[in-house]
Amino acid sequence: MPSAILVFYGSYRSDRAGIRLAKYLVRELGARGERVEFIDAKAVGLPMLDRMYKEYPKGDAPPAMEALAEKIRSADAFVFVTGEYNWGMQPGLKNLTDHFLEEWFWRPAAIASYSAGRLSGARSNSMWHGTLSEMGMVVISSTLTVGPIGDTLDEDGNLAGSGGKSLGRAFPRFADDLAWWTEACREQRARKAPPY
């Protein structure tokens, strides 16, 4: 049974190198038979967080927020593609995730980070683990760190160079881990109602 996976990307920069990694993940997860949808925080265009989705009276949330809430509720799993800004999280992606809470609960999340340098967004990757756990997701142990992004993937998200070979070797375990947790969580939700 194919899983519904949302791949989130959060850069608002004009030259968005990390979109290469998002393209790669969407394509490769789709090739494994999953139903994958790309969610671009910049295209969704939520404002800086003022009011969470749950704080709006039913039916009063902005249309983009309402549509995204339904996609999140309907998804089986999430992948967060994140860059690292000055040792920290990408603000666009963090802003998007903070608009929601209960919608994320009881589903697995995977993290793929990138940077222009050799540390591959590892510090941001690590920060996301705690944040996503706090938001009610099961964060899988497998992760991807990609860098330098420009030497690892071309503009279309195709593997390039030795970094691309490393990413190609790492992806199957990442995808297998996500698939295992996705199935486990889906079956548990069907078997027993979540405790809250």
**pLDDT tens for each residue of 45-84:** 999 999 999 999 999 999 999 999 999 999 999 999 999 9
Question: What rounded mean pLDDT belongs to the chain?
Answer: 96
Residue 158 has pLDDT above 90, yes or no: yes
**Predicted TM-score of the model (pTM):** 0.97
| Selection from 39, 136, 147, 130 nearest residue 93 by Cα | 39
- 4-191 CATH choice from 3.30.365.10, 3.40.50.360, 1.10.10.60, 3.30.160.110: 3.40.50.360
- Beta strands in 10-155, from DSSP E residues, in sequence order: 35-40, 77-83, 108-114, 138-146
Q: How far apart are CA 129 and CA 27, in angstroms?
A: 24
Query: Under a CB-based contact definition with an 8 Å cutoff, are residues 115 and 147 in contact?
Result: yes
Please give the residue that has the higher pLDDT: either 183 or 119. Answer: 183
Q: Where are the domains of the chain?
A: 4-191
User: Looking at residue 1, what is its pLDDT?
Assistant: 84
